[in-house]
Amino acid sequence: MEKVLMNSVGQFFKAQPKVVPSLDPTFQPGSLSTREFKRCLRASAASPVPVNVALEQADGSTFHFHTEMFPENSEHAGYNFAHLERWIKFLLWSRGACRIYFKGPESLAKRLQDHFHDQPTGQFDADLMGRRVYERPFEVVRISSEALPPAREATRPLGRHLEGYRIGFDLGASDRKAAAVVNGEVVFSEEVPWDPVKQTDPQWHYDQLMAMLKSAASHMPRVDAIGGSAAGVYVNNRVQVASLFRGVPANLFDSRVKTIFWELKKAWNNVPFEVVNDGEVTALAGAMSLNANSVLGVALGSSQAAGYVTGEGNITSWLNELAFAPVDYRHDAPVDEWSGDYGCGVQYFSQQCVGRLLKPAGIEVDPQMPLPEKLKHVQKLMESDDSRAAAIYHTIGVYLGYGVAHYADFYDIRNVLLLGRVTTGPGGSIILDQAQTVLKTEFPDLANRIAFHTPSERDKRHGQAIAAASLPVL
């Protein structure tokens, strides 16, 4: 056992991976560091100190979690805060909250409060969760002797409703898709290129969305419901954080974009209308196709998107923004350019990962080449069995295996649906094989429990549209 070097939050236990990513030998999986922390805690002569937290969203939905720490007089107490902070960060970005109730040692509560108030990465999380997502002040509240607020989830099941005449749509950064769905069957679909990120006028966005809906509606006698998916955070059909609209000035975003889907619903005679994160709909589409539940969908695209379908077959109010969730605990892990935090999923499960692995793979390209073009270059090399390209996919596959093991600490996973442009072509098979190898080697219990899947051609064409259309209840 040895320590990882100090970083901004403290020190971690280090555990050498049995499967080492070929292009990143110093990778320190969060799943292994956490397992080593728990092993040393169990082996300690001192009794572990319980820590209980409740994450509360603006609508009162509250989620409970429990962990344990070393006593303050333990020789290992110096490891507590680093592991606590990474645990809390993952919970924030997987579940979402504007208030954290903390029942545990006062010293750890104080450090957690200071982290979100004073540290740049903590400030980023607090601002996004509080001001942007839930529109409430973000706070950490220490509970001393009283009980935590009761757990409750103020949500309703969404999806799998296929009766009637429905429109399903999906909004991406480079194209928008829409489909007319009649009793679960796609009778019309179209994919239209667009470039929404540069558009500053909310009316342009509204007109594009309205044209999309009208086009699909023209192929049905009536519209009973509309469901859609888009990158970003949506709460009660309100746009809270979305890259598609980042060209719109803040004042216009607040006055027009946040309620743009409410405006569209009204224009369509207030038919049932639901818009959720694209990762959620991807997971739902996978669950519907597989006829299975407990599905974690992970899309490796321009960023990392994720969604989760519970064991009961529902999508939830959870954020599942795993692009911001930490998976690598070393002190010098790659940094996310938006949040400024280290070791987060976006740098391991996206085109950004492919781009940063080009140099260690020995592949030279123009540094100004856009990331999608870099990915295409690697895919072309892979088609000719280039070993350098294969090393990139091998590395991502190892990341994924350890990442899924880490995700399993926070989700009940029985199925992993893997998709996205990074997984297309022969390199996708390497990613899948390496992820399964990691689980079999390091986490045999998980290997026996978790099945990996990729979407069928039919699901690639229509699965997202059908799942989106199925969101609203008539």
pTM above 0.95, yes or no: no
Q: What pLDDT does 10 receive?
A: 67
pLDDT of residue 155: 56
Which residues lie closer than 8 Å to 17 by C-beta, 6 or more apart? Answer: 27, 28, 29, 32, 398, 402, 442
**Tokens linked to 16:** 């050498």
Residue carrying the six token digits 């890259």: 243
CA distance linking residue 408 with residue 406, whole number of Å: 5
Q: How far is residue 117's CA from residue 150's CA, in Å, rounded to a whole number?
A: 26
Q: Tell me which residue has tokens 């450090």.
A: 111
Question: What's the pLDDT score for residue 115?
Answer: 96
Distances (CA, A) of 104 to 100, 250, 459: 12, 39, 46
286 CB-contact burial (10 Å; exposed 0-12 / middle 13-18 / buried 19+): buried
Q: What is the pLDDT of residue 2?
A: 41
pLDDT of residue 317: 83
364 burial type by CB count under 10 A (0-12 exposed, 13-18 middle, 19+ buried) = exposed
**3-state DSSP assignment of residue 61:** coil
Cα angle 34-353-417, degrees, rounded to a multiple of 5: 70
Look at strands 175-182 and 165-171 and give their pairing: antiparallel
Tokens of 347: 């740098």
**Who contacts 371 (Cβ-Cβ below 8 Å, separation ≥6)?**
302, 351, 352, 354, 355
Place of tokens 């405006």: 263
Structure tokens at 92: 């924030």
Encode the chain (474 residues) as per-residue pLDDT tens digits.
Answer: 344 434 456 688 888 999 999 999 999 999 999 999 999 999 988 899 999 999 999 989 999 999 999 999 999 999 999 999 999 999 999 999 999 999 999 999 999 999 999 999 999 999 999 999 999 999 999 998 889 999 998 656 678 899 999 999 999 877 899 999 999 999 999 999 998 989 999 999 999 999 999 999 999 999 999 999 998 889 889 999 888 998 999 999 999 999 999 999 999 999 999 999 888 998 998 899 899 999 999 999 888 989 999 998 888 889 999 999 999 999 899 999 889 999 999 999 999 999 999 999 999 999 999 999 999 999 999 999 999 999 999 999 999 999 999 999 999 999 999 988 899 999 999 999 999 999 999 999 999 999 999 987 667 767 888 999 999 999
What whole-number distance in Å separates Cα of residue 284 and Cα of residue 257? 26
Contacts with 286 (C-beta within 8 Å, 6 or more apart), sequence order: 295, 297, 309, 415, 417, 453, 455, 459, 463
294 neighbors 451 (Cβ within 8 angstroms): no
- Could you give the angle at which helices 120-127 and 106-118 cross, rounded to 10 degrees? 80
